[in-house]
Every structure is written in structure tokens, then in C-alpha cells.
């Protein structure tokens, strides 16, 4: 517990900025709700909560002075299941097509704000996980594993957005989920959109993480 408190204090600046940024997103949403008397975009709050889970997991893992490979493996699996929730909010931009014209600018700002926070949480969590993995496995393995993580994240977002699966349905609908995944993997010609979405989203996240890492190095140098 003391180690966790120390880590929170060490990350006070970034946690404070995250709180301010997420609070601003919620404030924009409240303003829209007041103007329109509509709760339509309220789901963004839940999506942002889900987006914070991967970062909460890696923050806890980083706080542990000693972490076994088994604990890292099991925690890593749970982390990977929730990871797509962070950049998933970007796809909520699709809801803008039902926005009224006079408030389209506000809706764009609201969804973009929530999506921005999701991406920041995604990159911060990945940065933590890379540091954790480098302590337990070879650097080359970590380097080659990250493109796979981006691909799995892109595929997870596709499953969530278009097939309407969520992170916990691997437990209550494992066979349905497995069947759909195998269908997409084994019959790529019938699921061109799924592959295109997965590959392009993975590339987008990979480039974004490279930029984020470069910014981190510049700041720390």
C-alpha cells in the first residue's frame, strides 16, 4: 500500500492532468445535456471508465516492488482483454451522424475530448507495460510483441463496435465469440472490412505510440 501511495505521489502531475482533462470532458457533456435535455451521449462516461481500467492495472503492477512472471502473465491477460476499451472511444465519432446541425460542433468537441482521453490512457498504459515486460523478458521479444498487441487491440475494437462484443463476454459467451473470431480469421475473403479495420487501426495506434514514446524521451532528456 505504501508503495502504491508513493507511486501515486510520483505520478501526481500526470494524474492531476488526467483528472482535469476527463473532468472537462464530463463538463462538456453536462452542458450539452442542459441545452438539449438529452442523455444520449451519457454512455461516453461509462466508456471512459472502461478506458481507465488498463492504466489502473499497469499502475498497480508498476507499484509492486516484486512481481513474479506468473502474476505478470495473468494480469497481462486481463489487461489485454480490457485494453481495446481505451482507443475504442474513437469509434464513437460514428454517432455524430445523428447529431443536430446546430450543435454538431459541440458534439464533435465532446466525443473528440473523450476519445483523446482514451488514447492518452492507452498510451500511458502501454508505456507502463513495456517497462514491466523489459524487466522480465528480452528486449527483442518486447519489440516484436507490440505490433501483435496493436493488431489484437484493433481486432478487439472491431468486435466491440461492429459485432457488439464487450470485454467480459469472453466469460459468458466464449463459444459465440470464438466462433465469430475463427470465421473472420479462416475466411478473410468474406470479412474484408474486418481485416481492413484491424490493420488500419493497428497502424494508427502503432504510429501514435511511436510518437508518444518519442515525446516521452524528449521530455525526459
- Overall residue count recorded for the chain in this entry: 221
Q: Which three cell numbers stand for residue 200?
A: 488500419
CA distance 220 to 68: 28
Low-confidence ranges of the chain (pLDDT < 70): 1-5, 7, 220-221
CA distance 160 to 177: 11
- The pLDDT, as a whole number, for residue 99 is 81
Percent of the chain with pLDDT over 70: 95
| Residue whose C-alpha cell is 532528456 | 221
Alpha carbon 52 to its chain's center:
8
- The pLDDT, as a whole number, for residue 77 is 94
CA distance 131 to 114: 26
Amino acid at each position: 500500500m505504501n508503495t502504491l501511495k508513493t507511486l501515486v505521489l510520483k505520478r501526481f502531475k500526470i494524474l492531476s492532468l488526467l483528472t482535469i482533462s476527463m473532468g472537462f470532458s464530463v463538463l462538456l457533456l453536462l452542458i450539452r445535456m442542459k441545452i438539449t435535455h438529452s442523455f444520449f451521449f451519457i454512455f461516453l462516461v461509462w466508456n471512459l471508465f472502461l478506458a481507465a481500467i488498463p492504466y489502473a492495472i499497469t499502475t498497480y503492477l508498476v507499484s509492486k516492488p516484486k512481481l513474479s512472471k506468473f502474476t505478470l502473465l495473468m494480469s497481462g491477460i486481463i489487461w489485454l482483454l480490457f485494453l481495446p476499451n481505451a482507443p475504442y472511444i474513437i469509434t464513437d465519432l460514428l454517432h455524430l451522424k445523428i447529431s443536430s446541425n446546430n450543435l454538431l460542433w459541440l458534439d464533435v468537441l465532446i466525443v473528440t475530448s473523450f476519445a483523446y482521453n482514451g488514447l492518452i490512457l492507452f498510451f500511458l498504459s502501454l508505456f507502463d507495460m513495456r517497462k514491466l515486460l523489459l524487466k522480465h523478458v528480452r528486449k527483442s521479444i518486447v519489440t516484436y510483441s507490440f505490433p501483435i498487441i496493436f493488431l489484437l487491440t484493433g481486432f478487439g475494437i472491431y468486435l466491440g463496435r461492429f459485432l457488439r462484443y464487450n470485454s467480459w463476454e469472453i466469460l459468458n459467451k466464449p463459444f459465440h465469440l470464438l466462433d465469430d473470431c475463427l470465421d473472420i480469421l479462416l475466411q478473410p475473403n468474406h470479412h474484408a472490412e474486418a481485416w481492413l479495420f484491424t490493420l488500419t487501426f493497428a497502424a494508427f495506434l502503432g504510429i501514435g505510440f511511436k510518437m508518444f514514446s518519442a515525446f516521452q524521451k524528449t521530455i525526459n532528456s
